[in-house]
Amino acid sequence: MKLKTIAKCAALALTLCVSSMQAQDSITTKPRLTIGGYGEAVYTRNFYSDNMFRYSHAERYKDAKGHGRIDLPHVVINLGYDFGKGWSMGSEIEFEHGGSEVAVEIEAEETGEFEHEIERGGEVALEQFWIQKSFGKGFNIRMGHIVVPVGQTNNAHLPTEFFTCYRPEGEFNILPCTWHETGISLWGKFGDWRYEAMVIPALNSNMFNNANWVKNGSASGYEFRVANNLAGALRIDNYSIKNLHLGVSGYIGNTFNNDIVTNEFSETSQYKDVKGTVVIGTAEFD
């Protein structure tokens, strides 16, 4: 009888101890689970033709009619969790331009043939999914799928962070935007300074073109991202002056042969020593 009583008391004490530890560990100034998101709806009237040859044959289409557009550029759902002891997780799913829809339809005009029809031409993307360990304001490690803050637009890509209806066309048309990769990031804050350094897969030169420079270099047509080459990215921001933000960012990585289709033909090939190094540097203020 005494042994049973002692066992019950020990079990009760252990339960209270565990409950106390859990309660103590859960004390925080912010909720453990965070759910959020944002969306934007845009109507624009463009005073130029939407014909694809309007620039290459400008004289022919100089008097062409303008066009209007209504769009949902971005609808985003965020999910985060603070595990305690400096561990946290964040994720972001983005629906661009209303998402994507594909249907299988029977075409009566083609003797009942089945066809895949694209009914909505948007995208659904996992833009962020990471786990982070914080050792203090000055040093944090983030691993997973993260945003690459190279350039002003990638660093400030939320709809409340730029003045135009759509993202500014300059960086948007020559750099990946929003640029997100799977990698490792080290970041922190010291007074009025913030830094971030990361290692990510390099861009793929097979996806470059003369119209958009390296914009499509982070895209992959496979179920995975080819990472034959790795790259580095760095960003430093300063907030010393009130109402003024100064920032610099950079990227460097070899882009040649960063695909399944190799460009190394032979030891005597003219491409044998080609690395295709891409270097990006930006400076901005706002």
Q: In this structure, is residue 7 part of a structural domain?
A: no
Same structural domain, 71 and 196: no
pLDDT greater than 70 at residue 233: yes
Instruction: Provide the number of structural domains found in the chain.
Output: 2
Residue 18 phi/psi, 5° resolution? Answer: -65, -45
Q: Are residues 189 and 256 in the same domain?
A: yes
Q: Which pLDDT score is estimated for 9? A: 36
Q: According to the model, what pLDDT value does residue 134 have?
A: 97
Phi, psi of 82 (to 5 degrees): -100, 110
| 3 membership: H or E segment, kind and range | helix 2-25
Chain center to CA of 214: 16
Range 6-26 burial, b when 16+ CB lie within 10 A, else e: eeeeeeeeeeeeeeeeeeeee
pTM of this prediction?
Answer: 0.77
Position 114 scores a pLDDT of 63
pLDDT reported for residue 17: 37
pLDDT for the residue 10: 35
Domain boundary among 111, 133, 155: 133
Q: How far is CA 183 from CA 145, 170, 197, in A?
A: 6, 26, 11
67 falls in which pLDDT band (50, 70, 90)? confident
Residue with tokens 């009888």: 1
The domain of 229 spans 137-286
Mean of pLDDT values over 222-226: 86
Domain end among 113, 133, 153: 133
Q: Which of 224, 167, 168 is nearest to 201 (CA)?
A: 224
The secondary structure element, H or E, covering residue 42 is strand 33-46
Q: Give the type of residue at 97.
A: H
Q: Indicate if the pLDDT at residue 268 is higher than 60.
A: no
Helix (H, G, I), strand (E, B) or coil at 10: helix
| DSSP letter string, 247-268 | EEEEEEEE-TT-SSS-----TT
Please compute the mean of the pLDDT values over residues 229-251 and round it to a whole number. Answer: 96
- The pLDDT score that the predictor gives to residue 266 is 52
Pair 147, 202 in one domain? yes
Give the pLDDT confidence of 97-124 residue by residue, as tens digits: 887 766 666 666 666 566 666 666 778 8
Give the pLDDT confidence score for residue 188 in this predicted structure: 96
Higher pLDDT, 20 or 165: 165
Least confident among 73-87, 138-152, 247-261, 266-280: 266-280
Residue 91: per-residue pLDDT? 96
- Find out whether 102 and 110 touch, Cβ atoms under 8 Å: no
Evaluate whether 222 touches 255 at the Cβ level (below 8 Å): no
pLDDT of residue 4: 42
Q: Is residue 275 part of a domain?
A: yes
From 133, 159, 191, give the residue that closes a domain.
Answer: 133
Please check the confidence at residue 236 and state whether its pLDDT lies above 90: yes
Length of the chain: 286
SS3 call for 224 = coil
Question: Of all residues in the chain, what percent carry a pLDDT higher than 90?
Answer: 46
Closest CA to 31 of 79, 77, 75: 79
Report whether pLDDT(65) > 80: yes
What is the rounded distance in angstroms from the CA atom of residue 203 to the CA atom of residue 186? Answer: 20
Task: Please tell me whether residues 174 and 286 are part of one structural domain.
Answer: yes
Looking at the DSSP assignment, which residues form a beta bridge with residue 77? 37, 93
Selection from 54-68, 70-84, 215-229 with the highest mean pLDDT = 70-84
Give the model's pLDDT for residue 265: 54
Average pLDDT, the chain: 82
